[in-house]
Amino acid sequence: MIRFENVTFSYADANYPILENVNLTIPPGELALVVGKTGSGKSTLLSLINGLVPNFTGGNFIGDVLVNDRSIRKYPPRDFADLVGIVRQDPRASFVTDVVEDELAYGMEQLGISPSTMRRRVEEVLDLLGLNELRNRSLTSLSGGQRQRVAIASVLTTNPKVLVLDEPTSALDPSAAEEVLAAIQRLVHDLGLTVVLAEHRLERVVQYADRVIVVNRDAEVYSDRPVQVFATSLLAPPVVELGRAAGWSPLPLTVRDARKFADELRNRLIKSKPRIRINPPTKTVVSIKNLNFNYSNLRALRDINLSISDGEIVALMGRNGSGKSTLLSQLVGLISPTSGSVSVNGVNPTHMKGRELIANVGLVPQEPTDLLISDSVAKECIASDSDSGVIPGSTLNIFEQLTTNASEDAHPRDLSEGEKLSLALAVVLAAKPTLILLDEPTRGLDYIAKVQLVNNLQKLVKKNHTIILATHDVELAAEVATRVIMLAEGEIVTDGPATEVLSSSPMFSPQVSKIMSPANWLTVSDVSFALDELK
């Protein structure tokens, strides 16, 4: 179905190609998983499939890509509209209408599909992705995860033969991600759809993959079956890392496979316990009393009462649309309560301005480009240093710790999603605010960058910073959170230590917890540490 023939591509003014001498064949009816470090060229590889690269990006292109024997050299991207559906990392960039149902119909209108067929497909896709309740909602009123599902749905209605997905589950809660991936798998198995999917959260998707395409930083690309790739890959899901730490053979790729080895490992660790991460609190940083907030007729937050101390890392978790991002917006003063009160360090955040605000509270939003205003990475970092009143080079130093491949001269909006997030994180962390708010901070980050993020956050809490993460990444929560707060329909339904909350949640528990249950182990790092102690 898809053939890359001796493809080499480099962006204009780049010193080296991002992809070099790529030869790949993806047969029809397969799900191919594309993996690689942040900024390695995964999005470029995906964009070659319908000719967006190089037709819209420019650059130097050698070789050819054929989809169903249609060449991107001979046909412009518009001629692939009936053949290839692409969902980008930022779903907002693809929306052209105002309402969910209209967005699902728009692509079919452009292809001249009959009204009766359009109506049938809209209903089918609404049911397939669980969007029926959102059909009349404004796109601007949706949460990040809801927007992502709508973007996928709008492509599926055109009935493409090839579906290209760039980080499709990055903003989805575990339940929604599972539903979307299960729906995609049904399309692959039942209808013969060919899917090419780039994803950093490998624990979610590896079980569905027929093949894995690895994109390395040195422009090399190769593919193999999942078990062969993950036997040696530096990028591997927690279940594989656990298998390596415990010495299991063959290495499991799924929780179900790993459970076959779990009894033996639990027995080895029967006298060991996970490390305690809680830092003794000294003062209250966040105080929320009887907080309610409404968006028009939608009650987004209901009777929230919270007290959060310095040194805590709190994970806000829950389904898409449960109120996590709204609560973060309250804490940074972007919106005011409908009723109740919010204070950070004893002050209402809506009363803080300028340097006082960024020294007390900093927010990295779900769409990091909302923070980025300069036309180069270097200028963004210089402006951040000036705004924060820190030593010149501080922001750039933090950015380089999070990602090592981005040029200082690059425009922030030309960075990969992971690099954009890293830059926004650096801008916020430079001021070292007392309260740090992160909305889906690992979206677009590979495992190696995630480890660096965890290390940075742990260094900050040791200096009595307080961190609140709104995240669907259960592996991040397991690794770094001291406390987990679960939201549902704007209400707090669970609030407790991370070990207790995550290990008892069937949907929000990490892979290690599912494997090691009923023992309360959450992370590979904790298991590895305990195994080392036994030697």
Q: What is the CATH number of the domain that holds 96?
A: 3.40.50.300
pLDDT at 487 over 90: yes
Q: Read off the pLDDT band of 279 (50, 70, 90).
A: low
Domain co-membership, 473 together with 329: yes
Domain co-membership, 200 together with 305: no
392 occurs within a structural domain: no
pLDDT at 165 over 70: yes
H/E run at residue 7: strand 2-10
Q: Which two tokens stand for residue 308?
A: 């959060």
Domain co-membership, 12 together with 115: yes
Contact 453, 399 (CB under 8 A): no
Q: How many CA atoms within 13 Å lie on the side-chain side of 259?
A: 9
Contact 291, 276 (CB under 8 A): no
Domain co-membership, 325 together with 366: yes
Residues with Cβ < 8 Å from 346, sequence gap 6 or more?
A: 287
Over residues 192-219, the pLDDT tens digits come to: 899 999 998 899 999 999 999 999 878 8
Dihedral sign for Cα 201, 202, 204, 209, please.
positive
Number of domains present in the structure of the chain: 3
Q: Which two tokens stand for residue 35?
A: 């993996």
Q: How many CB atoms neighbour CB 92 within 10 A?
A: 15
Q: How far apart are CA 332 and CA 335, in angstroms?
A: 8
Q: According to the model, what pLDDT value does residue 19 have?
A: 95
Domain co-membership, 212 together with 264: no
pLDDT at 511 over 70: yes
363 occurs within a structural domain: yes
Contact 186, 127 (CB under 8 A): no
Burial of 57 per CB tally in 10 Å (0-12, 13-18, 19+): middle
pLDDT at 310 over 80: yes
Q: How far apart are CA 70 and CA 26, in angstroms?
A: 14
Higher-confidence residue of 296 and 34: namely 34
Average pLDDT over residues 155-170: 91
Domain co-membership, 488 together with 366: yes
> Containing domain of residue 170, as a range?
2-234
H/E run at residue 286: strand 284-295
Over residues 360-415, the pLDDT tens digits come to: 999 998 888 888 989 999 999 999 999 998 999 999 998 888 776 678 888 888 78
pLDDT at 307 over 80: yes
pLDDT at 339 over 80: yes
Contact 1, 178 (CB under 8 A): no
Contact 443, 417 (CB under 8 A): yes
Q: Shortest CA distance to 317 belongs to which of 477, 166, 429?
A: 477
400 occurs within a structural domain: no
406 occurs within a structural domain: no
Domain co-membership, 155 together with 291: no
pLDDT at 418 over 80: no
Burial of 300 per CB tally in 10 Å (0-12, 13-18, 19+): buried
CA distances from 223 to 213, 215, 230, 367 (A): 4, 9, 11, 31
Give the distance from CA 466 to its chain's centroid. 22
Q: According to the model, what pLDDT value does residue 53 have?
A: 94
Average pLDDT over residues 96-121: 94
Average pLDDT across the chain, whole number: 90
Domain co-membership, 212 together with 341: no
pLDDT at 416 over 80: no
Domain co-membership, 128 together with 228: yes
423 occurs within a structural domain: no
Domain co-membership, 245 together with 230: no
Q: Read off the pLDDT band of 90 (50, 70, 90).
A: confident
Average pLDDT over residues 79-105: 90
380 occurs within a structural domain: no
Average pLDDT over residues 242-254: 92
Q: How far apart are CA 311 and CA 282, in angstroms?
A: 8
Q: How far apart are CA 499 and CA 479, in angstroms?
A: 10
245 residue type, one letter: A
417 occurs within a structural domain: no
Domain co-membership, 131 together with 172: yes
360 occurs within a structural domain: yes
Domain co-membership, 441 together with 519: no
Contact 475, 510 (CB under 8 A): yes
Q: How far apart are CA 331 and CA 485, in angstroms?
A: 15
Which has the minimum average pLDDT: 12-21, 28-37, 156-165? Answer: 12-21
